[in-house]
Structure 1
Amino acid sequence: MSVDGEAVRLADEAQADEPGWEVDPDDEWGVAVVTTVGRQLKLRREAAGMRASDFAAAVKYGEDLVYKVEGGKRIPRPEYLEKADEVLGAGGLIAAMKEDVAKVRYPKRVRELAKLESQAVEIGLYSNHNVHGLLQTEDHMRALFDVWLPAHTEEETERMVAARLARRSVFERSPAPMLSFVQEEVTLRRPVGSTMVWRRQLERLLELGKLRHVSIQVMPTEVEDHFGTGGLIEVLKFADGTAVGRSDGAFAGRPVTDPRQLRILELRYGMIRAQALTPRESRAFIEQMLGES
């Protein structure tokens, strides 16, 4: 499928999925969770003596969506579970399912966005929790995966490391895409793994920053009027003029292709870049950090 077709498909899915999300058939655990939640919702609705049409009217969602959620075909949004809990008088038991459902909501779209990275001609990335995955060394990746809870199995860690390493091929593409990164200062100061792992990570940033098609900027912690408080931002542009973006703090964290939504992400990212240190200043900042260690 072409990049244009992929972008259009993402847009169509974003509209069709409201107010629930498509279940990723490759995510066995996610399918099990959504199936169990749907079964519980159906049992409680029937125990309350409500037809699907009456329940749909009460929670103010379509009857078709009710059947899809109960059949494990759609991932319900938190608002749906909250309304269902209220309508069925579940005393918080249905609403409590939000935590498990939240864990399986976005994996398919995140994977699709990663695939699009390999096709983009321009990529803008802002990261405020960790060094962005594309910039991480292998040891840094492993150190991050090792502290996740619940703990990953060795096999899971290897699979995730391999997948993240494969994404780094974006730096070696020809013609090379323009890559712009803005990293929060705190993500560079956190000694993930060990002092040596941390130092090697900073050295990796300096190495990548030398590439003509890569720009790495540091956002100082002391900046007061910060436009990046909404979290991670990714904006990818393609040769045919299409684009896709995602942000933790906008549009439910889902990939968007609508021009109006993209303009919002581009505006935020542009302001963040303007507030950050220049690439030259950022390089000097990282070198100073290395010298202090």
Structure 2
Amino acid sequence: MPRADGNKDRGKEEDVRHATSLIAEIARIVRLEKGLTQEDLGGLIQYTGSAVSAVETGAQPPSDQMLERLEEGVGDGRGIFEVARKYVLMEKYPVRFRNFSKMEASAHMISSYATLIVDGLFQTEEYARALIKGGYPPVPEAKAEELVEARLARKKLFDRDPTAMIELIIEEGVLTRPFGDWDVMRGQLLSLVKDGQRDNVTVQVLPRDRGLKGSYAGDRGPMKLVETEDHDHVVYLEIEDEGILVSNRAKVSRLFQRYAKIRAQALSPDESLCLIERLAGERK
């Protein structure tokens, strides 16, 4: 069974690499159609000719920003490079997260319960970088930066049209567990407050001492609940580098009920943002 799973993951990685190669070939064809050298195209999109060459030869996948500029500079309104962005970003995610990443980007509603770290959708660049670089096993510098870029790209969900409703319930202990240094953590806390003030976002804190009240629903670990673009309901669970997508209706219903209980035991949104501000030193 492990061997079959490994082959399946490798197949997914190869599919994504093939997609990236296709995108690189399309970029080369478009450039030649327009009679541009690699230096010409680089100047047009504010990159060096060597950066364009690295993409066309497959030595370096295009960044999200480069694809945006290709769409603006030579896309001619066809949307080719805009569509390509989601496939290139998928290559930068861990295999376990790739299928869910597409679901997340188009979801009507995301409800997350975080117990160890700030949910990736809410992470600042500095917090994400400290977390990724400090993990084990360590990842090469270039790969770490790819992961940071991919994680930050998920934030487009906050401003997507049509609007997605986003909820986060976070254990109080996460708010006092720093990564990088305390300045990084303070920036992360203030970012949570800012995100929690959006009309389509709710942030709540589950108090550290909730268990003293005799009822504590959050002891089974983190989860992410999703209402998909087709109005189906699924749950994504992740532990020790394994991602599990739960779609069985009975299991999903039980997890949604547990989440509802956790939400009922958490502080109100206003109380939660006040607590986060106090922990950031912004409120007495």
Shorter-normalised TM range: 0.5 to 0.7
* Structure 1 residue 192 displacement after superposition: 1.5
Alpha-carbon separation, structure 1, partners of 2:249 and 2:233: 8
Tell me, yes or no, if the aligned pair for 1:230 and 1:248 is still in contact at 8 Å.
no
TM-score relative to the length of structure 1: 0.63
Q: What SS does the aligned partner of 2:191 have?
A: helix
Equivalent position of 2:170 in the other structure? 183
When the two chains are superposed, the root-mean-square deviation of aligned CA atoms in Å is 2.4
- Confirm or deny that 1:129 pairs with 2:119: no
Q: 1:120 to 1:18 in 2, by over 3 A?
A: farther
* Structure 1 residue 19 displacement after superposition: 11
Q: What SS does the aligned partner of 1:254 have?
A: strand
Equivalent position of 1:210 in the other structure? 197
Q: 1:268 to 1:111 in 2, by over 3 A?
A: same
Code of the aligned partner of 1:236: V
Q: What SS does the aligned partner of 1:291 have?
A: coil
Equivalent position of 2:136 in the other structure? 149
* Structure 1 residue 18 displacement after superposition: 11
Equivalent position of 2:270 in the other structure? 280
Alpha-carbon separation, structure 1, partners of 2:2 and 2:132: 32
Q: 1:24 to 1:273 in 2, by over 3 A?
A: farther
Alpha-carbon separation, structure 1, partners of 2:197 and 2:161: 17
Q: 1:18 to 1:246 in 2, by over 3 A?
A: farther
* Structure 1 residue 108 displacement after superposition: 3.6
Code of the aligned partner of 1:240: D
Alpha-carbon separation, structure 2, partners of 1:173 and 1:259: 28
* Structure 1 residue 152 displacement after superposition: 1.1
Equivalent position of 1:263 in the other structure? 253
Tell me, yes or no, if the aligned pair for 2:107 and 2:227 is still in contact at 8 Å.
yes
Equivalent position of 1:120 in the other structure? 107
2:219 to 223, 229, 234: 229
Q: What SS does the aligned partner of 1:25 have?
A: helix
Tell me, yes or no, if the aligned pair for 1:231 and 1:248 is still in contact at 8 Å.
no
* Structure 1 residue 161 displacement after superposition: 0.4
Residues 160-201 of structure 1, C-alpha deviations (whole Å, 9 max, x = no match)? 001101111100101211100001111111122112111111
Residues 133-180 of structure 1, C-alpha deviations (whole Å, 9 max, x = no match)? 111100000110121122111011011001101111100101211100
- Confirm or deny that 1:243 pairs with 2:260: no
Tell me, yes or no, if the aligned pair for 2:96 and 2:243 is still in contact at 8 Å.
no
* Structure 1 residue 27 displacement after superposition: 4.6
Alpha-carbon separation, structure 1, partners of 2:246 and 2:2: 13
Q: What is the total number of aligned residue pairs between the two structures?
A: 198
Tell me, yes or no, if the aligned pair for 1:123 and 1:234 is still in contact at 8 Å.
yes
Tell me, yes or no, if the aligned pair for 1:138 and 1:161 is still in contact at 8 Å.
yes
Unaligned regions of 5+ residues in structure 1, if any?
Answer: 1-16, 29-106
Alpha-carbon separation, structure 1, partners of 2:3 and 2:143: 31
* Structure 1 residue 20 displacement after superposition: 6.0
Equivalent position of 1:198 in the other structure? 185
Alpha-carbon separation, structure 1, partners of 2:178 and 2:280: 12
Higher relative contact order (CA 8 A, sep 6+): 1
Alpha-carbon separation, structure 1, partners of 2:279 and 2:246: 37
Tell me, yes or no, if the aligned pair for 1:117 and 1:236 is still in contact at 8 Å.
yes
